Chain A
Amino acid sequence: MLILECPYCGVKADETELHPGGEAHLTRFGPGSSDDAFESYLFMRANPKGVHFERWRHAHGCGKWFHAARCTVTLEVFGTYSAQTTEPPSDIIEKIAARRPGWAKESQA
């Protein structure tokens, strides 16, 4: 029963208020893109045992989408941040690095 803090309204929201939205920071590929790129965009998903960047919507709250950095094994939450960004903010990356020495974003599969 996760709690994630919505970065928009500041509410520490119970999981039941939230709607999960899968991997964050995907780049959309539209007409003209290669089959590979399109398949990867639509279906290939990071599924790490560890730090994961993911999308959530505060569905039964302010309605806003946001991103969370969370560990899929311990369920630790390293932070939540705006959905209007193409990569995790540096303070979150630093926080993860502090708690997970040796971790690097590139290493996730």
Chain B
Amino acid sequence: MKRYSAFALAREAFRNHQGWERAWRDAQPKKHYDAIIVGAGGHGLASAYYLGKNHGIRNVAIIEKGWLGGGNTGRNTTIIRSNYLQDPSAAIYEKSRSLYETLSQDLNYNIMYSPRGVMMLAQTEHEVRGYRRTAHANALQGVDTTFISPKKVKELVPIIELKGPRYPVLGALWQERAGTARHDAVAWGYARACSDMGMDVIQKCEVTGIQREGGRVTGVSTTKGDIGCNKLGIVVAGHSGHLAEMAGFRLPIESVALQALVSEPIKPCMDVVVMANTVHGYMSQSDKGEMVIGGGADGYNNYTQRGSFHHIEETVRALCETFPMISRLKMLRQWGGIVDMTGDRSPILSKTPVENVFINCGWGTGGFKAIPGSGWGFAELMAKGHSPLTEAFGLERFREGRFVDESVAAGVAH
């Protein structure tokens, strides 16, 4: 792989960029792999990458029904934070955040991690209590957060209105080292690095069956033929139920539409990411200048990647109250993604009833920020059979009543 750098860019500039090679090879499937990952979204690609990088498993195929990064990896609001309350969540999201910090260098692909800071507004006494508790928990989890005053909030976010008539800002949970990254670049960077390790990224290849022998996986049937494997990782978000059914087990998952929107681009006016859970809205400004706004999820099963207008309405009106100067900006585009919600709204990274089949799903509304950590932990789980990062996220927790519930800290949205 030719490395990317300012020097390489200059060199190519003088030969009209004819020398750039494909970012990832256009691979066709081999007969057999040590491991197959189904799903070339961020989580699938990251899982493959760390299988190779951390565990030396490089005879790997990543199989994708559509185009890589074409699911929720490319449809989210790109927020990266780790200020979670429960230990297992904080562990995996903080691992993820710390990996994001150096990911551009690791992948030799600028994923534009921008540690601009994320704040979660406390607008009721209940939220104040919840976020203070989170700050206490984070201090012991190695997650650097503080509960800040309204005055500090205004310093960081000059466009905010602190004294909204309905929900005044009483403070905020502030994570300075949280931020955003360029979502597509995360998928592309991992894909390029996987391909460089000799892995096959196979697009437009749909899995149609999972082959088993004696309760153990032997391979997959696909639209590009049968492919054998020793281990199989299913990382397909909203389509997990479908794949699980092929493998003969069920999941505690429902797929619903989550919506987001962007405004037209304007010059920088808000450097940090602000989340306001009481009024169900969050907003940041992209490097392009668009205000990126996340909204609510529908409560019913939906695979249309569209959502209901009233969610957009609720979010926008809340944000117009919180940031009155956006009133005259215009919505450029709204879209929906299909998110896979579990019974406790936390992800599943787990072994399954089929030997050597592993599943990584259920990231719900918060998957993007977890991509590197999820990949790191899931690769370890696939390679070694266990990982401290994924231990609490096993499927068995639903049977045991051992949930990882983040709604506790008033954290409705991610």
Q: Are the C-beta atoms of B309 and A44 separated by less than 8 Å?
A: no
Residues in B neighbouring A98, C-beta threshold 8 A = none
Q: Are the C-beta atoms of B310 and A15 separated by less than 8 Å?
A: yes
Residues in B neighbouring A19, C-beta threshold 8 A = 299
B308-348 contacts to A (CB < 8 Å): 308-310, 343
B277-320 interface bits toward A, Cβ cutoff 8 Å, 1 = contact, 0 = none? 00000000000000000000011111110001110000000000
Residues of A whose CB lies within 8 Å of any CB of B are 1-2, 15-16, 19-20, 22-23, 35-36, 38-40, 42-45, 47-49, 52, 54, 56, 72-75, 109
Q: Are the C-beta atoms of B255 and A47 separated by less than 8 Å?
A: yes
Q: Are the C-beta atoms of A45 and B303 separated by less than 8 Å?
A: no
Q: Are the C-beta atoms of B399 and A35 separated by less than 8 Å?
A: yes
Q: Which 7 A-B residue pairs are closest in the complex by CB-CB distance?
A: A43-B252, A20-B299, A47-B241, A109-B245, A20-B300, A43-B343, A39-B399
| Closest chain A residue to B302, Cβ basis | A72
| New A-B contacts (13) at CB < 8 Å, excluding given A47-B253, A72-B303 | A1-B308, A1-B310, A20-B300, A35-B399, A38-B399, A39-B398, A40-B250, A42-B343, A43-B252, A44-B250, A45-B253, A72-B255, A74-B304
Give min CB distance, B301 to chain A, whole Å: 5
Instruction: Using known A-B contacts A44-B250, A44-B251, determine if residue A75 contacts B398 with beta carbons closer than 8 Å.
Output: no
**24 A–B contact pairs at CB < 8 A?**
A1-B308, A2-B300, A2-B308, A15-B308, A22-B254, A35-B399, A36-B399, A38-B399, A42-B398, A44-B250, A44-B251, A45-B252, A45-B253, A45-B254, A47-B241, A49-B242, A49-B303, A54-B300, A56-B300, A72-B301, A73-B303, A109-B244, A109-B245, A109-B250
Q: Are the C-beta atoms of A109 and B300 separated by less than 8 Å?
A: no
| Closest chain B residue to A56, Cβ basis | B300
Q: Are the C-beta atoms of B241 and A16 separated by less than 8 Å?
A: no
Residues of B whose CB lies within 8 Å of any CB of A are 239, 241-242, 244-245, 250-255, 298-304, 308-310, 343, 398-399
From B253, B304, B399, give the contact of A73 (CB < 8 A).
Answer: B304
How many Cβ-Cβ contacts under 8 Å join chain A to chain B? 62
Give min CB distance, B316 to chain A, whole Å: 15
Q: By DSSP majority rule, is chain B's interface helix, strand, loop, or mixed?
A: mixed
Interface centre among B245, B250, B300 (most CB of A within 10 A): B300
Give min CB distance, A96 to chain B, whole Å: 16
Residues in A neighbouring B250, C-beta threshold 8 A = 40, 44, 109
Interchain CA distance A15-B314 in the complex, whole Å:
14
Interchain CA distance A2-B302 in the complex, whole Å:
11
Give min CB distance, B358 to chain A, whole Å: 19
Q: Are the C-beta atoms of B310 and A16 separated by less than 8 Å?
A: yes
Residues in A neighbouring B398, C-beta threshold 8 A = 39, 42-43
Q: Are the C-beta atoms of B308 and A47 separated by less than 8 Å?
A: no
Interchain CA distance A75-B242 in the complex, whole Å:
18
Give min CB distance, A77 to chain B, whole Å: 12
Q: Are the C-beta atoms of A52 and B399 separated by less than 8 Å?
A: no
From B252, B255, B309, give the contact of A1 (CB < 8 A).
Answer: B309
Residues in B neighbouring A56, C-beta threshold 8 A = 300
Give min CB distance, A105 to chain B, whole Å: 15
Residues in B neighbouring A2, C-beta threshold 8 A = 300, 308
Residues in A neighbouring B254, C-beta threshold 8 A = 22-23, 45, 47
Interchain CA distance A17-B18 in the complex, whole Å:
58
Q: Are the C-beta atoms of A109 and B241 separated by less than 8 Å?
A: yes
Give min CB distance, B244 to chain A, whole Å: 8
Interchain CA distance A43-B400 in the complex, whole Å:
12
Residues in B neighbouring A75, C-beta threshold 8 A = 302, 304
| Closest chain A residue to B256, Cβ basis | A20
Residues in B neighbouring A109, C-beta threshold 8 A = 241-242, 244-245, 250
Give min CB distance, A21 to chain B, whole Å: 8
Interchain CA distance A12-B170 in the complex, whole Å:
42
Residues in A neighbouring B253, C-beta threshold 8 A = 45, 47
| Closest chain B residue to A40, Cβ basis | B250
Residues in B neighbouring A1, C-beta threshold 8 A = 308-310
Interchain CA distance A40-B250 in the complex, whole Å:
9
| Closest chain B residue to A22, Cβ basis | B254
Residues in A neighbouring B299, C-beta threshold 8 A = 19-20
Interchain CA distance A52-B304 in the complex, whole Å:
14
Give min CB distance, B410 to chain A, whole Å: 21
| Closest chain A residue to B299, Cβ basis | A20
Residues in A neighbouring B309, C-beta threshold 8 A = 1
Residues in B neighbouring A40, C-beta threshold 8 A = 250
